[in-house]
Each structure stands twice: as C-alpha cells, then as structure tokens.
Amino acid sequence: MTATDNARVAAITTGLDRLKRSLRVGGRTTAPYDHPEPRWETRFVQNLSGRRPTTTRLADFGYRDHELPGRPGLPDDLAMAGPVRLLNDDGARALRDICRALKPRAVRDDHGVPHRLRDVESLSPFVHAMVRDAVFLDTVSRLVGVPLVPHPLRDAGVQTYYYGPPAPSEARTGAAWHLDGMNYVFTMTLSDRADHDGGAHLYFKGHPDDFDAHREDITRRGPAHPRVHKAPFLHVGDTMFTRGSRVYHAVTPVTRGERVTLAVSLFCPLLGGQDENRFWHSAPDDGLLRTLRNWNRLRRAVHRPAHYCRREEIPIVPLSGVFPRQEG
C-alpha cells in the first residue's frame, strides 16, 4: 500500500467519518451459503507436543516493562509465534474448502482491503465447533501461555479475507499498515504460496511509537525497510500468532492468483480488563445497534468471565503446560 492509500484508510476510519459509517449499515453478505460442510472432529487439531515454534516477546519489539500486559503469576508478553499448523492436513483442507465456498458472501470493503466476511462463526458450523473445541482451545492457549476462549465481539472474532488482483477500474488492494483491536490473533493461510504473487504478510519489528514516527518512510520502503519482515506463510494451514493490538502489520497487493486467509481472534477471560478494543473500532463495520449488542457481551465477559463462559458453553481449559520460552 502506498502512503496515499494509508492516508485514505486513516481518513475513513477516524473522526466524524466513523460516526457517518456507523449510521450507514450496509449489506453484510451478498449470497446464501449452502456448502455441504464436513462435521468438525477433534482429530483435525494438530498435536504440537514437542514442537518448538519460533517466538518473539514484546520486549523484542521495544516494549518496556511497565507496558507489558499480564498480571502477577500470569505473564502475557508474547508478540508473535509461528508459523505453526493448528490443524492437520485433513482439517486444513476442509477449512480451505469452506472458506472458498463462503467467498460469494463476502462484501467489498472500503478500507483499502479486499473482500472480507465477518462473523464466519455464525455461518459455518465447522468453524463454530472448531473455536469451541476444548483440544483446539488448549492448543492455542499453550502456544500463547494464557487461557483463551472465543471472543465476545462475535462479528470480529472470525473473519475471512480474499486477496486478488484488482479489476481494471480498481486501485491495487492490500491491507494498509494498522493495529488491530484484538490481542490474540491467529492468522491462517488457506492458499499455498505458489498459488499467488504478492500478498505478503508484513510486520514491523518495533514499538508502535517508532512506526508512527517513521510511518512515511516505512510505508514507502515496505519490505525493503530493515525493520519490516515477512511472515513465512508457505502452505495451506500455516498459522501465525500475532499480538494484533501491539504489532503493526500489513498485506501487500496480490498481482496474480488469490490468497485466502482466516483470522481467528480469541479472548483471555482472566485478563479481560486488558482487552484493547474500543467501541468505535467496530461500529463503522457493524453499525451502532449491532455493536452495542456485541459491546454489552464484551462488558459482561470482562466483569463476569466465568458466567460468560458458562452461558456460551465455552470450556475454560486449564493450561496443561506452555511451550518453553524461545527467543528469535
């Protein structure tokens, strides 16, 4: 994305325009979904025992001790981890086919990003069961080091993104540099690297203050900047964990083929008060009324986490051990 693209995206997601967008509720989907999905099975979860994914901590991104999240006895300072495979080959292929079938429901977004589909969990029984499976939740919880459950902001919890070359009359589409509202984001590629040109997932290895101070140069140089790195997505199912609310990231335009990704954002009920979402982060996408319902669900989860999990029939899994800390 160019500096102009980033400026345009910033303009439509800040200030008065956010209010205008919140009052204008557009279509959320464009077609019915009738794909004959396979039944979710726990066997689809990949066993990560004994595997040591590459991890980096927030301190490696320039965060100081007083800025680190967590609480005494429950540190929460992981910045990135992966790539890992959360699903085995059968599970990844099934999820790929589901997300391909969901594409006709995706809508064009005006943030300078591609077609996007929010609240995938409500459309796909497979995805709904996956993010509530006790073994899946245990796996991602051990990876991050804190217990995780599906996010109360249901619309933003599971989303699909479809990146492809623009039509002749369209500008190039990627994802501009940004921070998420979500703390625990698992981005899974559902395309092999050979399926597309472009579509690199970039991240800035540095503090957001450093990015903001040099935004124009970083945006202009992109992957050529010494502090900009590419996430090593290669095959269907490759997954990266990112502390989305603390790590600036972007996606370069796709010039050939298609890149499909699934973003699963989760919630730590023991650290709910540190959730970094803001009301106006979601309202431009979902409208005021829908955001109010989601926001009330989040507030209940923050103040009464056990009640929230019981009501949603979500297992809070005890951590059966976390991966050893590994730098680099």
pLDDT at 5: 47
pLDDT at 318: 60
Residue among 175, 83, 190 nearest 126 (CA): 190
pLDDT of residue 282: 74
Task: Please give the pLDDT value at position 165.
Answer: 87
Let me know: does 238 contact 83? Beta carbons within 8 Å. Answer: yes
157 vs 166: CA distance, rounded Å: 27
Amino acid sitting at position 296: N
Q: Is 286 left (phi over 0), alpha (psi -120 to 50) or beta?
A: alpha
- pLDDT score at 242: 97
Distance of alpha carbon 183 from alpha carbon 270, whole angstroms: 13
CA distance 190 to 93: 8
pLDDT, residue 283, reads: 73
What span, in angstroms and rounded, lies between the C-alpha atoms of 203 and 297? 31
Helical H segments across the chain, by residue range: 3-12, 15-23, 89-102, 120-123, 125-130, 134-144, 154-157, 208-213, 215-221, 279-286, 288-303, 305-311
Predicted pLDDT at 172? 58
Backbone angles phi, psi at 197, to 5 degrees: -110, 145
Residue type at 78 in one-letter notation: L
In the numeric block, which tokens belong to residue 289? 């009324």
| Residue 12: per-residue pLDDT | 41
CA distance 184 to 241: 7
- Ordered per-residue pLDDT tens for the chain, 328 residues: 444 444 444 444 455 666 666 666 555 555 678 889 999 999 999 998 877 789 999 999 999 999 999 999 999 999 999 999 999 999 999 999 999 999 999 887 655 556 889 999 999 999 999 999 999 999 999 999 999 999 999 889 999 999 988 776 665 566 889 999 999 999 999 999 999 999 999 999 999 999 999 999 999 999 999 999 999 999 999 999 999 999 999 999 999 999 999 999 999 999 999 999 887 667 777 778 888 888 999 999 999 998 898 888 887 656 544 444 444 3
- Predicted confidence at residue 217, as pLDDT, reads 96
Token representation of residue 124:
């796909």
CA dist 59 and 240 (Å) reads 18
**Residues 196 and 259: beta-carbon distance below 8 Å:** yes
Dist. CA 205–CA 328, nearest whole Å: 12
Q: What pLDDT does residue 18 have? A: 63
**Cis? peptide before 168, omega within 30° of 0:** no
Element (H, E) at 198: strand 196-198
**What per-residue confidence (pLDDT) applies to 121?**
93
Backbone φ and ψ for 311, nearest 5 degrees, come out as -65, -40
69 CA to centre of own chain: 19
Spatial separation of the C-alpha atoms in residues 49 and 64, rounded to whole Å: 31
| pLDDT for the residue 26 | 55
Q: Residue 70 region, left (φ>0) first, then alpha (ψ -120 to 50), else beta?
A: left
pLDDT given at position 25: 56
By residue count, the chain amounts to 328
